[in-house]
Structure 1
Amino acid sequence: MQWGGEGGSGRGMGRLWLLLTAMVVLLAWELAGEASRPQPNVSLWVLDYQGQQPPEKGALATVAARSLDEQVSLGLKAHPVWLRLRVVGALPGERLVLSNPLVQGVELLVCGDSGCRSVVREAHFADESGLAAALPQFRLPAAANELLLRVETDQAIRFNVQVLDDVDLHRYWRDLLLGQGLYFGLIAGLVIYNSLLLFSLRDTNYLWYLGFLSGAGAYFLCQNGLLLLYFPQMGARLNEALLLTALSVISICGLQFCRRFLMTARQDPSVDQLMRWLCWLLALAAAIAWLLPSFLTVVLYSLLGVLTLSAFLLSSVRGLWRGFRPAQWLLMAWSVLVVGVVLLLLVTYGLSPHNFWTLHGFQIGSALEAILLSLALADRINLLQRERETLLEEKARLHGMSYLDGLTGVHNRRYLDEALPAAVAQAEVSGRPLSLIMLDIDNFKRFNDGWGHAEGDRALQHLGKVIEEVVRDIDPVCRYGGEEFVILLKERDEHQALDIAERIRKGLATTPLTLLTSEQVLLTCTLGVARRLEGESASALLRRADQALYRGKYAGRDRVVLNAPGGVASTTS
């Protein structure tokens, strides 16, 4: 399928990628809006306490505590984590909101002299316009300055703590949804575009690329709480299993894409074997995510993620080292993804703070990577198309050379053996005339013996040039063997053929051959002409032209002889 000329296609693709890149920039801008808002007046301490129940009355003040800012990043924990919160200046109706929708196992308690009581967690916020926010949130009770927050989850404990009223929460979630809309619009556009290419080109690379895009879309639907928003009954466990399964799909499709894109099965078997084993391990990990969900499963996925990214980079570098140019796009794509994943892993294990880049870096990296992978596919298709065109041109050149005489540059006997029967069959169907001229240089053996074989070769080349100056481009000139030539004249009767033959004879007789010694020699030739008779075969027509040629030789050479119907010969000289 042709998608336009090379120049127009290149400009169109350039504008498309500029638009997609602009969408990624807008995505980052919109998502960054939440980071630019003023931080709430909340103080946090993480308690050195791991019990299932809150500390007993009076013991809270004795529990060791470490101060935190509003950005909590504690990594993976196999036990409950307790945070002490102090909220200053909260207004009635405001909410305590955690920015990470994956942190579902949370409980807020108000502790006083009579003990601790739980604050009812609100399922979702919805304002008068119906805009809902799938974030862990609690409506703050009146005069609740000292609070305890219990967190128990298989996911990394990372979130911002904010105190928001309904208007602020509406704005916060609207900005987040706008950023997600840009991301999923980008993914949907790439899916539609590459689906069209898949059906037109039938290239399995596009199939795995579409799988990669679909996995990325599913992952961020789960990570950003959008599935929980619209299907709250599915629960956190199911959301987590779907999220990890989407990670397996992303990784497996990415590995298969790499294998086929870089042709590792043939070009790099050892790396290809590594990537195949990783695909099986990732499929096994997806089963474990459903059967044994726990924070250990997240650790397993972290290890597999590092191995998978290493395989991506290793295969791309080795492909570039082999001289496969489109691998540069692949290397850039995986490098962008590596940055996003490294940020995610650092915050997952509590090694970096929870902020905009650690929260959304993976998503922005995946958007940029999707664009770069699409560019890699486009570059690969263009490269393969150019290679295919070069091969076809070379094949055509070699095919043409197989039908050309290496000395004179005219067609050879092989070409005549195929072209003459085809011309006879065409003439039989159309009823149009077909004529043949057979000729050779007079006394060529004597010339060859006297002047040498080098001059004899030049004499044949000289005759070939004289013939080509007389005949049309569509009339094939063939070297039949030795010094004999055959001219195939389509839609020419015997009168036209005789005229052409005579012009060749006179042209040779009046155009001297300049020898290597600078001497000039005039050559002559004898020509036999035959027009195809109704029902006559190719071999019979060739035989009659050959008979006319030898009649001219016996009659004294330097003449044109027509083999007329009934065997009557007409001679001119």
Structure 2
Amino acid sequence: MLKNGFKIFFIIITFILAPALTVFGGNHSSERSSGNQIELAYYSQYLKDASGELTFKEILSLEYEEAFQQHQGDVFQFGLTQDAHWIQTDLRELPIEGNFPNDYILYLDYSGIHEINLYLPVISNGVEDYVHLKGGIHYAGLQDEVGHFFPVFHFPENLNPERPLYTRVKSDYSQNFSLGIERETSFWVRQQFIVFMFAIAYGIMIAMILYNLILFFALKDKPYILYVGYMFFMLIYQVGITGALKVLNFNLGETLEQYVIATTFIAISFALLFAISFLNLPRFVPKALKPIRFFIGISVVGVFLVFTGNLFYANYLAYLPGAVLPFLIMTVAIKAYRRGSLGARYYIIATVLLFASVLIFVLRGFGIVDHSFMTSYATTASASLESLFLSFALADRISHLRKREELAKKRELELTKLMITDSLTGLYNRRYFDDVLASVYEESRRERIPASLIYLDIDNFKRFNDTYGHPMGDKVIQNLARVISENIRNQDHPCRIGGEEFAIIFPTMGKSQAILAAERIRKRFEEVDFSEIDPEIPTVTVSIGVTELKKKETPEEWISRTDETLYRAKREGKNRVLY
């Protein structure tokens, strides 16, 4: 089963994550222009502003003009830094087709940038000038963005392409992004497809959250609510990191982006608690509890940093579990699987899928892997697939729990049977007789239906035991038990209540039918051949007393009357049925 699961995983990884892997050290010179879309990194220079205090006026001065360095590559990868970066783009070199700038928009393809300042060259009333546009989380409510899930800007109609475009970016999150311009019509067609794919991913996660929430209320099983908590905050994180909420409500989306790192830490905590509970780590891998609790503590610190305004350090801290937990959790999950943890196989597939994209995202943040749309948002696709596989794991858990419950019930029935069954004959014992007689008595009184009771005792059994030994006596007892079982109804209750004494409770049966059953048992037992014990052994017989419950008679009186009837049969010659 695990092998089949890994086959499924590798198929998924090929179609979902393999494109992201092409960014490792690849040469993207062919992507400078695709007709309608132009990557500006090829036509740009950049300047690192470590102080973050340089003004646009200072940037335009000759001193800083000469400090710009030529950028290499098709994307900007400034990594995790608090430095500001200025980008100077020569618009004259752009291979633009059609009506520029009216038909084009400018975009940065990463939503989590805090400050974006665009300085667009224009000609106003014959005078060269610059228009200042703002974007990013830092300028909440003041942005000049169009309102997409990542920053998108319109060009002013009086754009002056003879002068350079300046972009200043600063962020507490990763400063890896693509800066480009694209014909607006083709941009929105492409973005509709991306939004549609996001909607599918989020829809899957929402469906799995609701499904497992229902299962939690039905089963009251702890892993289900931990799964719901994990997926709920993972969903919020994915909506926040992609900026998808801004498509519906821009201001709300901006607020979520501001605190999205907090949801990361909360999701990590729920994921670790889910792993502890689902994999039953205290039983299967107890040594893993300390490092897991350490990372839960790290998450608490991370949430504190977010709400105290230290987003840069919180974001940096988030990369620690992102880099370490994939290896820790996978090792723990594999150990738990080998030691018999329920559903661990699906858990392994789900976590491998997510952690592959998380590692790529972490490496992208540090600049080891090139920024691309896939490396930035592959976690969204893998998170939705993880939600499916973890649901499979929980469904598999239900199957295992049902099997375990059935096994427990079977064992309980076996133990109950042992408690109420006579080991020698397989008939019920005295404890069962006392309980059932009381129940039949009450039913007979309540429903006003008949009930009969017979007592049986093997004739001259003590002499038989003394002559042939107890093992042979046991064979006689077993044969009587067999004869009794073969000559009564399924709803009747045959019991061995003493050494050679037996009783049969007949619910809903009157005395006349009970007498017939007793006589049938007496005759069949008399016909049993015991010559294998001794060829000259005399016929073994049984005496039987039959009674029907009388009105106003207590159970004790009924038993006493039946017992007296049996011993009257003994006194009157044995091998007979009296009533």
Q: TM-score, normalised by structure 1?
A: 0.84
2:87 counterpart of 1:83? yes
* 1:120 and 2:127 correspond: no
The answer to whether residue 363 in structure 2 is matched with residue 354 in structure 1 is no
Counterpart position of 1:210 = 228
CA 1:68–1:26 in 2, change beyond 3 Å: closer, same or farther?
closer
Q: Does 1:150 align with 2:168?
A: yes
Q: CA deviation at 1:135?
A: 1.4
Check 1:96–1:248 CA distance in 2 against 1; reply closer, same or farther (3 A cut).
same
Change (3 A) 1:177 1:504: same
What SS is found at the alignment partner of 1:417?
helix
RMSD (CA atoms)? 3.2
> Which piece of structure 1 moves more, 260-269 or 195-204?
260-269
Output the amino acid matched with 1:85: T
What is the CA-CA distance between 1:108 and the residue it aligns to?
3.1
Deviation at 1:482, TM superposition (A): 0.8
Q: Which residue of 1 aligns with 2:210?
A: 192
1:40 aligned residue: 38
- Specify the SS of the correspondent of 1:353: coil
1:133-153 CA-partner distances (Å, limit 9, x unpaired): 641435272324633332211
Is the contact between residue 44 and residue 70 of structure 2 (CA under 8 Å) also seen in structure 1? yes
Deviates more, 1:366-375 or 1:63-72: 63-72
Q: Give the superposition deviation at 1:256.
A: 1.8
Offset of 1:169 from its aligned partner? 2.6
The more displaced of 62-71 and 157-166 is 62-71
Answering whether residue 496 of structure 2 is matched by residue 479 of structure 1, we say: yes
Map 1:233-252 onto structure 2 (within 5 A): 233=251, 238-252=255-269
From 182, 190, 193, the equivalent of 1:175 is 193
Q: 1:241 to 1:48 in 2, by over 3 A?
A: closer
Contact 2:495 2:503 in 1 (8 A): yes
1:63 corresponds to 2:67: yes
Structure-to-structure mapping, 1:297-336, within 5 angstroms: 297-336=314-353
User: Which letter maps to 2:117?
Assistant: E
Alpha-carbon offset, residue 383 of structure 1: 0.6
- In 1, distance between residues paired with 2:39 and 2:424? 94
In the TM superposition, residue 120 of structure 1 has moved relative to its aligned partner by 3.0
Residues 163 and 519 (structure 1), Cα distance of their counterparts in 2 relative to 1, 3 Å cut: farther
Is the partner of 1:435 in helix, strand or coil? strand
Give the structure 2 partner of residue 50 of structure 1: 49
Equivalent in the alignment of 2:393: 376
d(CA) in 1 for partners of 2:168, 2:153:
13
Give the superposition deviation at 1:270: 4.0
> How far did residue 307 of structure 1 move?
4.6
From 503, 507, 519, the equivalent of 1:502 is 519
Alignment of 1:415-454 (within 5 A): 415-454=432-471
What corresponds to 1:96 in structure 2?
106
Q: CA deviation at 1:66?
A: 4.3
The structure-2 alpha-carbon separation of the partners of 1:462 and 1:268, relative to structure 1 and needing over 3 Å to count, comes to same
Judged with a 3 Å threshold, the aligned counterparts in structure 2 of structure 1 residues 144 and 202 are, in CA distance, closer, same or farther, namely farther
The aligned amino acid for 1:261 is: F
Q: Which amino acid aligns with 1:358?
A: T
Cα separation, 2, equivalents of 1:300 and 1:468? 75
Q: Is the 8 A contact 1:27 1:183 kept in 2?
A: no
377-386 or 103-112, larger mean C-alpha shift: 103-112
Q: Distance in 1 between matches of 2:161 and 2:517?
A: 115
Question: Partner of 2:562: helix, strand, or coil?
Answer: helix
Kindly indicate whether the alpha-carbon contact (under 8 Å) linking 2:148 and 2:246 is maintained by their aligned counterparts in 1. no
User: How has the CA–CA distance of structure 1 residues 98 and 57 changed in structure 2, closer, same or farther, with 3 Å as cutoff?
Assistant: same
Change (3 A) 1:442 1:162: same
Taking the aligned partners of 1:535 and 1:245, their CA distance within structure 2 comes to: 76
Cα distance change on mapping 1:456 and 1:353 into 2, 3 Å? same
* Separation (CA, whole Å) in 2 of partners of 1:234 and 1:427: 72
Judging changes above 3 Å, is the alpha-carbon distance between structure 1 residues 477 and 239 closer, same or farther for their aligned structure 2 residues? closer
Q: Is the 8 A contact 2:363 2:369 kept in 1?
A: yes
Partner of 2:569: 552
Contact 1:44 1:70 in 2 (8 A): no
Query: What is the CA–CA distance in structure 2 between the aligned matches of 1:377 and 1:297, rounded to whole Å?
Result: 32
2:332 & 2:169 partners in 1: Cα distance? 41
Distance in 2 (CA, whole Å) between partners of 1:519 and 1:275 is: 80
The CA deviation at 1:235 is 8.9
Higher mean displacement: 131-140 or 474-483: 131-140
Pairing 1:462–2:479 present: yes
Deviations 1:365-386 (A, max 9, x none): 2111111111111111211111
SS at match of 1:75: coil
* Residues 343 and 357 in structure 1, CA contact (< 8 A), matched pair in contact too: no
Please tell me whether residue 139 in structure 1 is matched to residue 143 in structure 2: no
SS at match of 2:234: helix
- Percent of aligned positions that are identical: 25
C-alpha contact 2:347 2:390 (8 A) present in aligned 1: yes
- Which of these residues, 558, 567, 573, is aligned with residue 541 of structure 1? 558
Q: 2:116 aligns to what?
A: 106
Q: Deviations over 1:113-143 (max 9, x none)?
A: x9984543574665xxxx8564143527232
Q: What is the one-letter code of the residue matched to 1:92? A: P
Q: Give the distance between the partners of 1:528 and 1:422, measured in 2 at CA.
A: 21
| 2:357 maps to amino acid | G
156-165 or 85-94, which moves further after superposition? 85-94
CA distance in 1 between partners of 2:571 and 2:115 (Å): 112
SS of 2:426 mapped into structure 1: coil
Measured after TM superposition, the shift of residue 195 of structure 1 is 2.3
Partner of 1:160: 178
Which segment is superposed worse, 103-112 or 289-298? 103-112
Tell me how far apart the structure 2 counterparts of residues 274 and 196 of structure 1 sit (CA, whole Å): 32
Q: Contact 1:109/1:116 (CA < 8 Å) preserved in 2?
A: no
Contact 1:100–1:136 under 8 Å retained in 2: no
* C-alpha distance in 2 between matches for 1:198 and 1:336: 25
Following TM superposition, by how much is the alpha carbon of 1:308 offset from its aligned partner in structure 2, in angstroms? Answer: 4.3
Counterparts of 2:196 and 2:251, CA distance in 1: 25
* SS state at 1:155 partner: coil
| Residues 28/368 of structure 1: CA separation in 2 closer, same or farther (3 Å cut) | farther
| Alpha-carbon offset, residue 251 of structure 1 | 0.8
Alignment of 1:263-412 (within 5 A): 263-265=280-282, 267-412=284-429
- Taking structure 2 as the reference length, what is the TM-score of the superposition? 0.83
Unmatched tracts of structure 1, length 5 or more: 1-17, 563-573
Task: Write out per-residue CA displacement over residues 507-533 of structure 1, whole angstroms, 9 at most, x where no aligned residue.
Answer: 112231352578876311111222222
Q: Which residue of 2 aligns with 1:260?
A: 277
**TM-superposition CA deviations, 1:393-422 (whole Å, max 9, x none):** 110121012111111111111111111122
